[in-house]
């Protein structure tokens, strides 16, 4: 506890006041105790600036006409000096008497500035330099600089400041890396802190912002390809009365106005198909889905997915379309069709291998599941020493075998095709293979990236598939689908032959940027509440 806080605390104990006054004062003490010495110094500087008549958070617009990167790229030694107005965050400074060097960081990069006391304080009052710049400004503050561009004697392109304006005062010190004897100190590299305080991560760690710019390129490229193909971007409900379109556990909320429980969507599929029924040629949505499941390096409960549905197409067409889409995205992000991921060179150049799922299982385990019933597949699981339970039906068992022994082995893009009907309640039956459906999942770098079908458009067959899902739910499968009566009604009006696909945007960005953890490509991944983390740490 600081000395001032100690004095206040003992003062409170000596005064007999009402309890709520004591409580309010104790909160003030707690706030003061939690402030570090650096934070206290910065708040003191804030007050001194105000006393000097300098607004630390001015409301007026500060007009800029240049960015750091463009200034450096366009500079020519033999050209007339260029006047610029720039703004950014103060990241370093070297005070050298009447002149100083500093570095500011804007949205495009960093640039050095040269500040002379006599330039920014041409009159007799030198306080702006002596007091403000040297003592009251801190690393992390936003400043505006007007001046001209030049090259220093050491060859660095810089801005010679003619005026300096404080634009925003920073009250918390940045974790700027310092080096001593080749050792780096104060690195902001703890994963939990980086994900929890992404704003700091973006400021101080190189390459983080670039990852998210590449994410934006992935999404804009997908949107461009789909728009140019003539498909319509749409929006469907995030809050739904029925959690349909996928096998997953939903988040449940309560709709007070109607006094009913509702669900955050787990997929956009059933609403997009309704639009195909309504006459759209092709529709797509890039949006958030929510699944109340675990978190790990490949999963976040809130994730972004692109779903596309096109009439008069089948899953063979969709495989070709997907190959071309991903090849285009990879070139847009990386400038080529290959990307190094975890030491592997993954090629997104079309075409990709196509392998039936039961053939993949036979290839990796030696067991041929063709024609086996649920009991026989259970026996195979036991021979493979897998952990299974009575709630798992035939489809879930096959899915578990594939996940445990096959999925992680496919590094190059591979279409796993022709899934058993028990695994695919929304998929059209295979036109030539009994008991199978026209479905594929795209595996890349050992993980599923996309899921697609020749869509089931037979309303009677669809109703029976829903009923089978309900039987699985009765056995205890909490990821089984429920019957969506309105969707069945829509199908009864007639849906043309259609192919659809869902692509996980977060995983696609991981692949295109070579990241290992999904948290690296999400601005704000889900985290345990910070108060819980602190409590657990204190208990330990």
At 292 the pLDDT is 95
Query: How many CB atoms neighbour CB 463 within 10 A?
Result: 16
Full domain range(s) for residue 137: 22-174
291 with 416, same domain: the answer is yes
At 270 the pLDDT is 95
Residue 407 placed within a domain: no
At 146 the pLDDT is 98
146 with 215, same domain: the answer is no
337 with 245, same domain: the answer is yes
Residue 373 placed within a domain: no
34 with 83, same domain: the answer is yes
Encoded tokens for 329: 């995205």
Residue 10 placed within a domain: no
290 with 167, same domain: the answer is no
Instruction: Give the burial class of 283: count Cβ atoms within 10 A of its Cβ; 0-12 exposed, 13-18 middle, 19 or more buried.
Output: buried
Q: Return the H-helix or E-strand segment holding 142.
A: strand 142-151
Residue 363 placed within a domain: no
Number of domains observed in the structure of the chain: 2
Residuewise pLDDT in 10s, the chain (540 residues): 444 544 544 444 444 444 434 444 444 445 555 899 999 999 999 999 999 999 999 999 999 999 999 999 999 999 999 999 999 999 999 998 889 999 999 999 999 999 999 999 988 888 888 899 999 999 999 999 999 999 999 999 999 999 999 999 999 999 987 766 666 667 899 999 999 999 999 999 999 999 999 999 999 999 999 999 999 999 999 999 998 888 889 999 999 999 999 999 999 999 999 999 999 999 999 999 999 998 999 999 999 999 999 999 999 999 999 999 999 999 999 999 999 998 999 999 999 999 999 999 999 999 999 989 999 999 999 999 999 988 888 988 999 999 999 999 999 999 999 999 988 888 999 999 999 999 999 999 999 999 999 999 999 999 998 888 888 778 777 777 788 999 999 999 999 999 999 999 999 999 999 999 999 999 999 998 887 555 555 555
131 with 237, same domain: the answer is no
Specify which residues 302 forms β-bridges with. 290
Last residue of a domain, one of 174, 194, 228: 174
Reported pTM: 0.87
213 with 168, same domain: the answer is no
Distance CA 20, CA 23 (A): 5
Residue 224 placed within a domain: yes
DSSP symbols for 511-534: HHHT-S-GGGG-SS-----HHHHH
Encoded tokens for 148: 């001209």
Nearest to 269 by CA among 439, 442, 477, 519: 439
170 with 214, same domain: the answer is no
Residue 196 placed within a domain: no
Specify which residues 102 forms β-bridges with. 93, 113
Residue 536 placed within a domain: no
Q: What is the CATH number of the domain that holds 121?
A: 2.40.50.140
* φ, ψ of residue 417 in degrees (nearest 5): -120, 170
28 with 163, same domain: the answer is yes
Give the end-to-end CA distance of the chain in Å, rounded to a whole number: 22
Contact, 42 vs 171, CB < 8 A? yes
* φ, ψ of residue 416 in degrees (nearest 5): -90, 120
Residue count of the chain, please give it: 540
Query: How many CB atoms neighbour CB 294 within 10 A?
Result: 8
146 with 230, same domain: the answer is no
Residue found under tokens 């095709």: 417
Last residue of a domain, one of 127, 151, 174: 174
322 with 437, same domain: the answer is yes
Nearest to 466 by CA among 434, 489, 436: 489
Q: What is the CATH number of the domain that holds 520?
A: 3.30.930.10
The one-character DSSP state at 170 is -
At 69 the pLDDT is 97
At 539 the pLDDT is 54
Residue 80 placed within a domain: yes
272 with 142, same domain: the answer is no
């Amino acid at each position: 506890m600081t000395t001032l806080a100690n004095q206040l605390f003992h003062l409170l104990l000596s005064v007999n006041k009402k309890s709520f006054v004591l409580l309010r004062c104790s909160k003030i003490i707690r706030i003061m105790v939690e402030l570090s010495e650096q934070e206290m110094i910065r708040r003191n500087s804030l007050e001194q600036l105000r006393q000097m008549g300098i607004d630390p958070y001015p409301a007026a617009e500060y007009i800029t006409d240049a960015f750091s990167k463009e200034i450096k790229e366009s500079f020519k030694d033999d050209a007339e000096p260029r006047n610029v107005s720039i703004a950014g965050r103060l990241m370093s400074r070297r005070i050298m008497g009447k002149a100083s060097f500093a570095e500011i960081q804007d949205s495009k990069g960093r640039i050095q500035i040269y500040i002379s006391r006599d330039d920014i304080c041409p009159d007799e009052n030198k306080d702006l330099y002596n007091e403000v710049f040297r003592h009251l400004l801190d690393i992390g503050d936003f400043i505006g600089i007007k001046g001209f561009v030049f090259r220093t004697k050491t060859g660095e392109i810089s801005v010679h400041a003619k005026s300096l304006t404080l634009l925003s005062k920073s009250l918390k010190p940045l974790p700027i890396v310092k080096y001593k004897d080749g050792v780096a100190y104060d690195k902001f590299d703890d994963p939990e802190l980086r994900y929890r305080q992404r704003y700091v991560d973006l400021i101080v760690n190189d390459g983080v912002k670039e990852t998210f710019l590449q994410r934006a390129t992935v999404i804009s490229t997908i949107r461009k390809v789909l728009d140019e193909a003539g498909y319509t971007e749409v929006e469907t409900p995030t809050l739904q009365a029925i959690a349909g379109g996928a096998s997953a556990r939903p988040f449940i909320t309560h709709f007070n106005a109607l006094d009913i429980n509702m669900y955050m969507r787990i997929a956009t599929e059933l609403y997009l198909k309704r639009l195909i029924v309504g006459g759209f040629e092709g529709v797509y949505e890039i949006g958030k889905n929510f699944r109340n499941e675990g978190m790990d390096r490949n999963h976040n409960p809130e994730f972004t997915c692109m779903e596309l549905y096109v009439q008069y197409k089948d899953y063979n067409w969709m495989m070709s379309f997907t190959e071309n889409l991903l090849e285009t995205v990879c070139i847009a992000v990386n400038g080529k069709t290959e990307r190094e991921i975890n030491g592997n060179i993954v090629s997104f150049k079309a075409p990709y291998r196509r392998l039936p799922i039961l053939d993949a299982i036979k290839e990796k385990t030696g067991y041929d599941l063709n024609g086996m019933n649920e009991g026989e597949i259970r026996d195979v699981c036991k021979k493979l020493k897998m952990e299974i339970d009575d709630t798992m039906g035939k489809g879930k068992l096959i899915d578990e075998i594939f996940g445990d022994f096959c999925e992680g082995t496919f590094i190059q893009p591979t279409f796993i095709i022709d899934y058993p009907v028990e695994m695919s309640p929304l998929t059209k039956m295979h036109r030539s293979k009994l008991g199978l459906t026209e479905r594929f999942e795209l595996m890349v770098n050992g993980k599923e990236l996309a899921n697609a079908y020749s869509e089931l458009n037979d309303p009677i067959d669809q109703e029976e598939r829903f009923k089978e899902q309900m039987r699985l739910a009765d056995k205890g499968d909490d990821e089984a689908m429920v019957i969506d009566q309105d969707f069945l009604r829509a199908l009864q009006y007639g849906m043309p032959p259609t192919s659809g696909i869902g692509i996980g945007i977060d995983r696609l960005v991981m692949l295109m940027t070579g990241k290992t953890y999904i948290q690296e490509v999400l601005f704000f991944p889900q985290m345990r509440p910070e108060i819980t983390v602190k409590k657990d740490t204190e208990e330990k």
